[in-house]
Structure 1
Amino acid sequence: MSAMSSNWDRRSVLRAAAGLAALGPLAACGSNNGRSGGGSSGKSIKQYFHAYGEAGVEDALKRYAKGYDKAAVNTQWITSADYESKLFSALLTDNAPDVFEFHPQIQLIKSGQVADLSDIIDPVKSDFNPADIASHTVDGKIYGVRMIDDPQFFFYRKSVLEKAKIQPPTTLDELIEAAAKLTTGKVKGLFIGNDLHAVINPLIWSSGADTLDAKNQIAYHTEGVKEGIKKMRQLFTSGHLLLDAPTDYWDPSAIVQGLTPIQFCGMWAMPVMQKALGDDLGIFPFPKVTDSGKQSVTNGGWSMFVNAKGKNADLAKEYVKWLWIEQKKYQEDFALSYGFHIPPRTSIAATATKLKTGLPAEGVKLFNDFGHFDNIGWTQAMITALEDVFANCVRKNGDPEAALDQADTTVNRELKKLFG
């Protein structure tokens, strides 16, 4: 994720993908920023972005587009909560975008919806984080250009933990204990999001497991994950977890407004938190769940795709190459001037002075040491299956083994469709 109002949850963003064929025609698509650039070519392309929360992002994207002289670039800026549904609805119509931001997803590739971008990425492939290349690659072809990487971890108020004589937790048990000690009156000890979905994958990774293994087989159904789910149930029922916050985990309001001293959030919100809290801010990764587990950091982010079924696919590829491959000054500006994001281009990341010291540097280190990237084969149906496990076992008191068995049925069905 990225932006504070954008990374509302990668899982919810992808929700529309599962029902792509069932969606109806596109309704009004949000504000139309008009055309930019284009010179006298008479050509035009349309690009879709969700409404980032950081101030200045919309103006920046319009400014970049205005610099393109081979076509007029029409930018659709779509309310975050509506982005996925409007994007997938639009892709079924003649009003479809030529270029759009989204996350790597194998269904888009299998359906021929997104174009192979290997030819424009291969010349600079070695300058991208290898994990970003891998998460966008199917059968040796690269689909999508990564724009930003967005690590997510726990932010905490140093002074509050010090006063309570609490060290930053390294295990889930310690996190649960800390939440209990830090809960006072209206202040809850911990906030991990209103729907809890943001921590599903970190819980799996910190249990020593994964969503899928290297052979695209189920890897999440382990004793460690079951133990983690039970501990999450304990936390959920403890009364020490902030629930129904005014905004979700992607927004820093909960910790900034003093509703909690520990909040799960993304690096994109770090400048806002630092402005409000100064040096009284620290970070730590999702703690390990079991002795055999390892602390983990979710890497969210956004990527640019070309609509292979659009009327202007070749022109759209040229534009994507120009902006997200050639214009490194714009790429750096996008990553570092509107919240903090890690540039996926290693040459840009190497000179990113804003990320070299202090808390941003700590965030980069956690990203490098504990980061996990998108698995392009982990589909929306699979994501929803594990969301259901959380709903049944954390919010309710369901049996984790039975719930995971049910998830296995859905996931295996999906795997058979995708990989045989």
Structure 2
Amino acid sequence: MGTELNRRSFLVVAGLLGLTACGSNTGREGSAKGTLRHWYHAYGEDGVQDAVRRYAAAYPNAQVEVQWNPGDYDSKILTALQNSAVPDVFEAQVKVDWVRQGQVVPLDDLPGDARGDFVGALLESQTVDGKLYGIPQAIDTQVLYYRPSLLAKAGVTPPKTVDELVDATRRLNADGVRGLFAGNDGGVGVLTAPLLWSAGLDFLSEDGRAPGFDDPRAATAFGKLRELHQGGGLLLGAPTDWADPGAFVDGLVAMQWTGLWNLPKIVAAHGDDVGVLPFPRLDAGGAESVPVGAFSAMVNARSADVEAAKAYVKWLWVEKTEYQTEFATAFGAHLPARQSLAAQAEPLRDGPGKEIVGFVTASGRIASPARWSARANTALSDAVSRIAREGAEPAGELRAALDVARDEISRLDR
């Protein structure tokens, strides 16, 4: 890539990843001029909350109330979809169970002529049984940030394999600075997928009809997380969790696994002393990776006015390209979900940002497949937690998780 990140660069990313009128009166006060409730999780970047409230206030066809949701947003959404007409619109990544239980509505009619402008795999990741249930808002990824000066001082080269990452974490644990922060659970939550990918595996088989980790290499990969825990270089109990750059910015660690969105804060804190890496491969048979995902706007099937909610989603996430550009590029660093808006991603034009775009191009993997159910994910996460934190035998733990995953796949296929 050249010195300037251009449209063509983002088309390469897109190639890798794929890379109306309001309804009739439903009893709401004022019908189309009624109130819509829009839920977001609590973004960590300054300015996002003010921006989305400004977008909502600008919508001409209804009053839109924005609710900001700190804490366990996923649980709040699950509860709301089961029991309530609120929110009308919310951001999430679609799950097959929501579709099968009739909790979300198809949005295939919303993209219109703009469908081809969205990164193809993002639309695919929000598609179940051939129908689209979410309009992507922005693309996020996660990478390994490191301080080149601290690695040089310790005689450590940037890790290219998982064994090198384990060794670097141990050797960088010095002078009151820990080697690595990957969350207060020691990486169970955010490193499970990259560890699978490092071994050339995945949550599901390519056709989605079988578990993708029914392989001895999965046990080997998750055993490496146990080695990270035993090495003494992992930071646990940080004031903030992995999605916040605080541990890295404040000099508590030499390396942190966290999001692209934190790049501006990290560069502001450390200047040129910032390096970035994808998650390393397990061995020659594995692969480097970065997770790629996007929150998408969805409509609650229990909304008192589904058509009004859909019209609002179309206005905000299909028609209002100036808002979409600002949302993706003005608060932290994100990749726009639409190719035509990509050239405006200022933080990604050079330096570590440009490198991260290259990682997405070469090694991006969809982080949350729609057919990977919450129950299967919990079973695997619990197994990985016991392996990493308690020293449980990997193969045995994974057998139990595989049984749950097979049951879930069978249930979804019925």
Is the structural similarity TM-score above 0.5? yes
| Counterparts of 1:397 and 1:178, CA distance in 2 | 21
Report the residue type matching 1:135 in the other structure: S
Structure 1 vs Structure 2 CA RMSD: 1.7
Task: Look up the match of 2:348.
Answer: 355
Output aligned runs, 1:238-249, within 5 Å. Answer: 238-249=231-242
User: Structure 1: which amino acid aligns with 2:323?
Assistant: Y
Residue 214 of structure 1 is matched in structure 2 by 206
Q: Is this contact kept in 1: 2:84–2:302, CA < 8 A?
A: no
1:295 positional shift: 0.3
Q: What amino acid maps onto 1:187 in structure 2?
A: V
- What's the CA shift string for 1:6-32, capped at 9, x where partnerless? xxxxxxxxxxxxxxxxxxxxxxxxxxx
Paired position in structure 1 for 2:36: 45
Matched, 1:406 2:406: no
Q: Deviations over 1:322-343 (max 9, x none)?
A: 0000111100100111111111
The residue type paired with residue 412 of structure 2 is L
Describe the SS at the equivalent of 2:55: helix
Partner of 2:117: 127
Map 1:307-318; keep pairs closer than 5 Å.
Answer: 307-318=300-311
Q: Residue 109 of structure 2: SS of its match in structure 1?
A: helix
Match of 2:266 among 273, 293, 300: 273
Q: Is residue 156–residue 261 contact of structure 1 (8 Å, CA) maintained in 2?
A: yes
CA contact (8 A) 2:329 2:344 kept: no
Bigger drift between 309-318 and 224-233 goes to 224-233
CA contact (8 A) 2:138 2:294 kept: yes
CA distance in 1, matches of 2:219, 2:283: 10
* Mapped contact 1:39–1:70 kept (Cα < 8 A): no
Structure 2 counterpart SS, 1:269: helix
Instruction: Note closer, same or farther for the CA distance 1:379–1:93 as it changes in structure 2 (3 Å cut).
Output: closer
Q: Residues 122 and 224 of structure 1: is their aligned pair in 2 closer, same or farther, counting only changes over 3 Å?
A: farther
What is the DSSP-based 3-state SS (H/G/I as helix, E as strand, rest coil) of the residue aligned with 2:236? coil
Q: Give the match for residue 91 of structure 2.
A: 101
Asked if residue 383 in structure 1 is aligned to residue 383 in structure 2, the reply is no
Q: Equivalents in 2 of 1:95, 1:133: separation in Å?
A: 25
- Any conservation in 1 of the 2:122–2:293 contact (CA below 8 Å)? no
- What secondary structure, in the 3-state scheme, does the structure 2 residue paired with 1:240 have? coil
Q: CA deviation at 1:225?
A: 1.5
C-alpha contact (below 8 Å) 1:224/1:289 kept by paired residues: no
Is this contact kept in 2: 1:191–1:241, CA < 8 A? yes
Q: How many residues align?
A: 382
Higher deviation after alignment, 350-359 or 367-376: 350-359
**Distance (whole Å) between structure 2 residues aligned to residue 159 and residue 214 of structure 1:** 41
CA deviation after TM superposition for structure 1 residue 143, in Å: 0.9
SS for the counterpart of 2:257 is strand
1:66 aligns with 2:57: yes
Aligned position for 1:57: 48
Q: d(CA) in 1 for partners of 2:116 and 2:289?
A: 25
**Is contact 2:85-2:303 (8 Å) kept?**
no
Q: Is this contact kept in 2: 1:208–1:290, CA < 8 A?
A: no
Structure 2 unaligned regions, length at least 5: 1-28
Aligned to 2:282: 289
Quote the Cα distance in structure 2 between the aligned partners of 1:46 and 1:179. 45
Structure 1 stretches lacking a partner, 5+ long? 1-37
Quick check: 2:325–2:344 contact (8 Å CA) kept in 1? no
Instruction: Give TM-score, length-normalised by structure 2.
Output: 0.89
Question: Post-superposition, which runs of at least 4 consecutive aligned residues in structure 1 deviate over 3 A?
Answer: 38-42, 92-95
CA–CA distance in 1 between the matches of 2:229 and 2:380? 17
Counterpart residue number, 1:235: 228
CA–CA distance in structure 1, aligned partners of residues 105 and 234 of structure 2: 43
Q: Is the 8 A contact 2:145 2:276 kept in 1?
A: yes
Distance in structure 2 (CA, Å) of the matches to 1:264 and 1:212? 24
Name the SS of the counterpart of 1:190 in structure 2.
strand
Amino acid at match of 2:151: L
TM superposition shift of 1:41: 6.0
> Identity over the aligned pairs, expressed in percent?
39
Cα deviation code 1:293-313 (max 9, x no counterpart): 000101233111011221111
Q: Report how far residue 122 of structure 1 moved.
A: 4.2
Name the CA distance, whole Å, in 2 between partners of 1:58 and 1:315.
23
- 2:257 aligned with 1:264: yes
- From 395, 410, 414, the equivalent of 1:416 is 410
Look up the match of 2:132: 142
